[in-house]
């Protein structure tokens, strides 16, 4: 051989020798003795390939074991399989060290099936091989077989070592399998590993992830020796279980004992500051991070940005972000974008999102999920196009965010198309789609989707049920549908969850079952503001003003922090009960005591309160004294009051204001024409109707619904479409004949047309709510209550008929009109004829 080749071969042998001895220390010493730097993984693999091609080194088990471990570090399964072929070629695949290295290599390359085949083909095994397979199963997500492997290992006579226990505990932690974890805990005590530090660390992690934080604290306190990982595991476990203050105490104790915090320690505690919004402590940690030399750590800097954002210090967050130039990644970009969104600056978030793309940083699924929450400020259509281009449209988190974005703009159709395309739909995606149907008031769509969930064996959670219950509150939904979902929530034991019980309370209140709503309210173990507000508003809508005010008094006694919605309910209760002074006092209290600025709805309630009591001058004075121009809600309320009290001039003013603001809203024209009709000013009424025709404004037709046996029947005035129309009119004639015998006289003042008295009576006779009532009397059991929904305000004559029928027939009749509920029973109504 040429001398130069001999020299090169010897040099290559010297360089390769450290690679053939796995211990890192020996490798580094050998490298220094050769006058070279320690090899990187890629350099070592390249050196092996050159040596193998030059045939300067035998492929023994030590060499192959070493190079297989390096291949595992690279996660290159193709190269690993080539090495496996070499092992077979040189008859080294049966060697215990090579087999174990093959196991580890395939596990790190996430090819667990290949690892299992290697394991099954090993003629000889040891505890290391068993442990490697168990760890591989855990890392690759195939954890269901770990307990069986652990049991088989002992049956075949191999004692678990600390690493074995660590792997099995990791599997139990990932699956939240607390019983399995406890059994392993018992066994490791039996084998004498209870004082091994990293086994105890695994125990702390397992108990924390299974929600057994008290057990993890006990393990931690009984440890004779602790390392930084022990402290980090304990702090992280406390944080994940919501025990933030205890986590801070442990961090403080860690510093007192002289344990130097690691990067993970700082990252965890900084995140903790974000949860507690502890700005001052976060600043102190920031200083410590810089002092310890971790100022360039991206995870810590990103965590600090999140703290500053949550503490409304966007300038500091952005300054920190700017200082990371050259070290920014998708996580830091997403954090700063999210910070601006959380602080209500969607426009700035959009600019940063565009800058991120210009800097060639590709958004990930979380980035898209965050930016989509800005809908409708940022169009979901634009983001959707980028999502498709980046191939994230099938990711559950992005799909769910897209779905929610389309829901916000009322686009149920596109939301459903997104939902259908989501692969591996999780419960969050199902819940989001149900919430979309609930927001759109599509009970039928929500019910069908919920049934599809059942067919696919997807177990609902509390949010799923609260969404579908909310969907069942729409006026046309079957009355019993909500009760069925209530039963399902009890079956799954979610009925006491706050979001579910609040949804049930609201559903019963909106479906006319105020007694059931009250029972749900009384059984709530915990109540939030939504529950209290729903109960106050429910009683108010059903005409039980005093009960609503009693609930409000309980809120005050318990020191509840109220909001504007609370006072809308309270003022509505005063309005329906005619409690003018009580309403005025609560309005003043809202402004002075609770510092809540009145909205259009609050002023509308006060205008309604004064107007119903005939105090139109006070109502108008309130409108003129508003700090901003009155909106449509206020003028519509005033106009309705003018119709009731026949105040033509004020009604004309209110109508003009309303028509100017909403020229296509039929309510203003209809109410004004009714005012003229009541005053018998037919020419002016005709002028208003002509104006409607010229502007092509369509009057909303009066419609009533009644649900019988899960089917909704709809009626309009003079309806002849229903298949039972002939029998309905026969029943109606018989019913009115009986009522006339009891003293009923049609109130033709509610017919606002110029015609003969007989024609007016005939028009009253054919009102939609009367048709629905007659149908209900025909097809429902004699003792069953009758529930009717009407899209407009019930007229006075129909109100009288309902009262009399409830007495003559001995039936409870519940009518939900456009403003409130009316409970008719024994000849009287819950509204006290004040509506």
470-506 pLDDT per residue, tens: 888 876 676 678 899 999 999 999 988 999 999 999 9
pLDDT of 32 higher than 70: no
Token digits of residue 577: 């009960």
Q: Burial-class residue 708 by CB neighbours within 10 Å (0-12, 13-18, 19+).
A: middle
Nearest residue to 111 (alpha-carbon basis) of 77, 69, 64: 77
Residue 627 and residue 708 in one domain: no
Could you tell me if residue 478 is inside a domain?
yes
Residue 453 and residue 528 in one domain: yes
Question: Which pairing describes strands 813-816 and 821-825: parallel, antiparallel, or unpaired?
Answer: antiparallel
Query: pLDDT confidence of 13, banded at 50, 70, 90?
Result: very low
Sheet harboring 813-816: ordered strands across? Answer: 711-716, 703-708, 786-790, 813-816, 821-825, 828-829
The answer to whether 168 touches 184, Cβ cutoff 8 Å, is: yes
Name the pTM for this structure: 0.65
The answer to whether 765 touches 736, Cβ cutoff 8 Å, is: yes
Could you tell me if residue 281 is inside a domain?
no
How do residues 191-232 score in pLDDT, each as one tens digit?
Answer: 888 888 989 999 999 999 998 999 999 999 999 899 999 999
Query: pLDDT confidence of 469, banded at 50, 70, 90?
Result: very high
Q: What is the DSSP letter of 594?
A: S
Question: Which pairing describes strands 813-816 and 786-790: parallel, antiparallel, or unpaired?
Answer: parallel
Give CA–CA dist 402/409, Å, rounded. Answer: 11
Query: pLDDT confidence of 539, banded at 50, 70, 90?
Result: very high
pLDDT at site 684: 86
Residues 6+ apart with CB under 8 A from 245: 276
pLDDT at site 757: 61
Answer with the residue of higher pLDDT: 150 or 32. 150
pLDDT at site 479: 63
Give CA–CA dist 261/714, Å, rounded. Answer: 70
Residue 595 and residue 537 in one domain: yes
Could you tell me if residue 555 is inside a domain?
yes
Give CA–CA dist 720/717, Å, rounded. Answer: 9
CA atoms within 13 A on the CB side of 782: 3
pLDDT at site 751: 61
CA distances from 670 to 376, 605, 665 (A): 34, 21, 9
The answer to whether 12 touches 51, Cβ cutoff 8 Å, is: yes
Query: pLDDT confidence of 29, banded at 50, 70, 90?
Result: very low
Residue 650 and residue 740 in one domain: no
pLDDT at site 38: 55
Could you tell me if residue 794 is inside a domain?
yes
Q: Tell how far CA 415 is from the center of its chain.
A: 16
Length of the chain, please?
Answer: 835
Mean pLDDT of 509-524: 91
pLDDT at site 669: 86
How do residues 165-190 score in pLDDT, each as one tens digit?
Answer: 888 898 888 888 899 999 999 988 98
pLDDT at site 229: 92
Could you tell me if residue 31 is inside a domain?
no
Lowest mean pLDDT: which of 51-60, 277-286, 658-667?
51-60
Domain boundary among 206, 222, 241: 241
Q: What are phi and psi of 789, to 5 degrees?
A: -115, 135
pLDDT at site 14: 45
Tokens 């690993």, residue?
80
Residue 509 and residue 611 in one domain: yes
Residue 714 and residue 611 in one domain: no
Residue 454 and residue 556 in one domain: yes
Give CA–CA dist 18/367, Å, rounded. Answer: 45
Mean pLDDT of 101-116: 85
Domain that holds residue 628: 410-656
Domain boundary among 199, 219, 241: 241
Give CA–CA dist 535/254, Å, rounded. Answer: 49
pLDDT of 519 higher than 90: yes
Residue 508 and residue 648 in one domain: yes
Query: pLDDT confidence of 752, banded at 50, 70, 90?
Result: low
Give CA–CA dist 597/575, Å, rounded. Answer: 20
Give CA–CA dist 350/294, Å, rounded. Answer: 30
How do residues 401-456 score in pLDDT, each as one tens digit?
Answer: 888 888 888 888 888 988 988 888 888 889 989 989 888 888 888 889 999 999 99
Percentages helix, strand, coil for the chain (3-state, rounded to 5) are 70, 5, 30
How do residues 613-627 score in pLDDT, each as one tens digit?
Answer: 889 899 999 999 999
pLDDT at site 807: 92
Tokens 């259009």, residue?
600
Residue 652 and residue 711 in one domain: no
Query: pLDDT confidence of 759, banded at 50, 70, 90?
Result: low
How do residues 321-359 score in pLDDT, each as one tens digit?
Answer: 988 877 789 999 999 999 999 888 888 998 999 899 888
Q: What is the DSSP letter of 143?
A: G
Give CA–CA dist 287/295, Å, rounded. Answer: 9
Residue 484 and residue 593 in one domain: yes
Task: Please give the tally of structural domains in the chain.
Answer: 3
Torsion of CA 88, 91, 96, 102, to 10 degrees: -20
Mean pLDDT of 688-705: 85
Residue 649 and residue 711 in one domain: no
Domain boundary among 221, 241, 261: 241
Residue 641 and residue 738 in one domain: no
pLDDT of 781 higher than 70: yes
Instruction: Return the exposure string of 545-565: e unless at least 16 CB atoms fall within 10 Å of the residue's CB, then b.
Output: bebbbebbeebeeeebebeeb
pLDDT of 11 higher than 70: no
Residues 6+ apart with CB under 8 A from 782: 809, 810, 811
Question: Which pairing describes strands 821-825 and 828-829: parallel, antiparallel, or unpaired?
Answer: antiparallel
- Counting residues of the chain whose pLDDT is more than 70, the rounded percentage is 91
Give CA–CA dist 502/482, Å, rounded. Answer: 13
Answer with the residue of higher pLDDT: 23 or 645. 645
Could you tell me if residue 271 is inside a domain?
no
Mean pLDDT of 580-599: 93
Could you tell me if residue 482 is inside a domain?
yes
CA distances from 593 to 327, 342, 558, 590, 625 (A): 51, 29, 16, 6, 20
Could you tell me if residue 118 is inside a domain?
no
Mean pLDDT of 131-148: 83
């Amino acid at each position: 051989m040429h001398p130069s080749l001999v020299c090169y071969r010897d040099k290559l042998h010297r360089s390769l020798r450290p690679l053939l001895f796995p211990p890192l220390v020996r490798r580094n010493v050998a490298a220094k003795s050769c006058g070279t730097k320690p090899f990187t993984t890629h350099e070592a693999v390249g050196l092996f390939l050159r040596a193998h091609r030059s045939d300067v080194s035998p492929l023994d088990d030590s060499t192959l074991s070493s190079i297989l471990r390096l291949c595992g570090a690279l996660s290159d399964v193709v190269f690993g399989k080539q090495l496996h072929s070499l092992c077979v070629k040189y008859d080294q695949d049966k060697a215990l060290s090579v087999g174990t290295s093959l196991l580890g290599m395939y596990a790190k390359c996430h090819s667990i099936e290949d690892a299992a085949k290697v394991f099954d083909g090993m003629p000889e095994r040891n505890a290391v091989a068993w442990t490697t397979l168990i760890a591989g199963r855990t890392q690759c997500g195939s954890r269901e077989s770990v307990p069986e492997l652990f049991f088989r290992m002992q049956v075949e006579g191999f004692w678990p070592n600390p690493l074995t226990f660590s792997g099995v505990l990791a599997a139990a932690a990932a699956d939240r399998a607390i019983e399995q974890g406890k059994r392993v805990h018992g066994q490791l005590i039996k084998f004498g590993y209870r004082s091994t530090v990293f086994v105890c660390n695994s125990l702390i992690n397992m108990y924390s992830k299974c929600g057994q934080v008290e057990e993890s604290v006990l393990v931690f306190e009984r440890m004779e020796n602790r390392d930084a990982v022990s402290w980090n595991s304990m702090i992280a476990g406390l944080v994940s279980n919501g025990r933030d203050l205890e986590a801070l105490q442990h961090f403080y104790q860690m510093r007192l004992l002289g344990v130097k915090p690691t990067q993970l320690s700082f990252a965890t505690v900084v995140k903790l500051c974000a949860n507690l919004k502890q700005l001052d402590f976060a600043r102190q940690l920031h200083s410590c991070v810089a002092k310890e030399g971790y100022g360039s750590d991206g995870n810590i800097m990103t965590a600090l940005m999140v703290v500053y954002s949550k503490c409304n210090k966007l300038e500091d967050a952005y300054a920190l972000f700017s200082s990371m130039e050259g070290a920014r990644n998708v996580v830091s970009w997403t954090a700063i974008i999210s910070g601006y969104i959380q602080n209500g600056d969607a426009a700035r978030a959009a600019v940063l999102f565009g800058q991120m793309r210009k800097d060639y940083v590709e958004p990930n699924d979380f980035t898209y999920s965050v930016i989509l929450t800005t809908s409708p400020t940022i169009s979901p259509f634009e983001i959707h196009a980028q999502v498709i281009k980046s191939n994230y449209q099938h990711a559950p988190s992005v799909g769910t965010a897209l779905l929610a974005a389309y829901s916000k703009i009322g686009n149920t159709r596109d939301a459903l198309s997104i939902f259908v395309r989501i692969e591996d739909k999780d419960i969050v995606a199902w819940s989001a789609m149900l919430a979309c149907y609930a927001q759109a008031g599509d009970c039928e769509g929500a019910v069908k989707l919920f049934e599809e969930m059942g067919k696919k064996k997807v177990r609902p959670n509390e949010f799923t049920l609260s969404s579908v219950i909310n969907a069942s509150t729409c006026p046309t939904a079957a009355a019993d549908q909500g009760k069925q979902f209530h039963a399902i929530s009890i079956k799954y034991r979610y009925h006491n969850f706050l979001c579910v019980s609040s949804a049930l309370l609201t559903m019963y209140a909106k479906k006319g079952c105020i007694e059931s709503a009250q029972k749900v309210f009384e059984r709530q173990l915990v109540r939030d503001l939504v529950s209290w507000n729903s109960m106050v508003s429910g009683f108010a809508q059903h005409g039980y003003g005093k009960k609503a005010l009693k609930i409000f008094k309980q809120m005050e006694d318990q020191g509840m922090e109220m909001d504007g919605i609370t006072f809308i309910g309270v003022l509505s209760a005063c309005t329906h009960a005619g409690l003018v002074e009580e309403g005025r006092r609560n309005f003043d209290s809202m402004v002075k005591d609770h510092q809540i600025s009145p909205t259009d709805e609050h002023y509308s309630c006060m205008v309604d309160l004064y107007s119903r009591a005939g105090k139109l001058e006070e109502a108008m004075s309130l409108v003129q004294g508003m700090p901003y121009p009155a909106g449509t809600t206020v003028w519509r309320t005033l106009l309705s009051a003018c119709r009731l009290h026949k105040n033509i001039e004020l009604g004309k003013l209110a109508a003009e204001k309303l028509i100017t603001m909403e020229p296509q809203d039929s309510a203003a024209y209809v109410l004004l024409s009714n005012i003229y009709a009541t005053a018998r000013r037919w020419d002016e009424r005709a002028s208003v109707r002509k104006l409607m025709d010229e502007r092509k404004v369509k009057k909303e037709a009066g419609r009533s619904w009644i649900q019988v046996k899960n089917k909704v029947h709809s009626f309009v005035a003079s309806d002849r479409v229903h298949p039972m129309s002939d029998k309905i009119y026969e029943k109606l004639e018989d019913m009115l004949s009986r009522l006339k015998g009891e003293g009923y006289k049609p109130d033709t003042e509610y017919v606002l047309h110029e015609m003969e008295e007989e024609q007016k009576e005939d028009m009253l006779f054919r009102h939609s709510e009367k048709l629905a009532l007659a149908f209900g009397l025909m097809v429902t059991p004699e003792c069953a209550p009758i529930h009717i929904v009407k899209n407009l305000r019930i007229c006075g004559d129909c109100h009288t008929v309902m009262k009399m029928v409830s007495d003559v027939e001995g039936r409870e009749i519940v009518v939900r009109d456009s403003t409130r509920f009316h409970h008719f029973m024994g000849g009287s109504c819950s509204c006290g004829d004040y509506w």
